[in-house]
Amino acid sequence: MITGPNGAGKTTLLETCLGLLKPMRGRALLLGVDTRRRRIIHARRRCSYVPQNFMKPPYEAYTALHVILLGFSAYKAPF
């Protein structure tokens, strides 16, 4: 579990580990794979990430089940 106050860098850490952001210095590994390598795609398939900012109007609320299912969306066929 990753915890910390707002602005501490929790999202930045996760997005860097997933290879969505590039580190300014050093390197980031995800399941032992350098995030700058093409093989990162295979490591990402073993992870789920649901960002906090969903592309949905604020008046259409998500249920807890919807949020959990978003994490599995990469494994489902498009509808």
Scanning the chain, the segments in alpha helix (DSSP H) are 10-17, 40-44, 64-71
pLDDT on residue 56: 64
Structure tokens at 1: 């579990």
Give the start-to-end residue ranges of the domains of the chain.
10-75
Statement: residue 1 has pLDDT above 70: yes
Residue 4 pLDDT more than 80?
yes
C-alpha 65: how far from its chain's center? 18
Q: What pTM was computed for the model?
A: 0.56
In this prediction, residue 32 carries a pLDDT of 92
Give the tens place of pLDDT for each residue, 13-71.
Answer: 888 888 888 888 898 888 999 988 888 888 888 887 767 665 666 677 777 787 778 77
Rounded alpha-carbon distances, angstroms, from residue 13 to 42, 73, 77: 19, 22, 29
- What would the pLDDT profile of 50-61 be if each residue is shown by its tens digit? 676 656 666 777
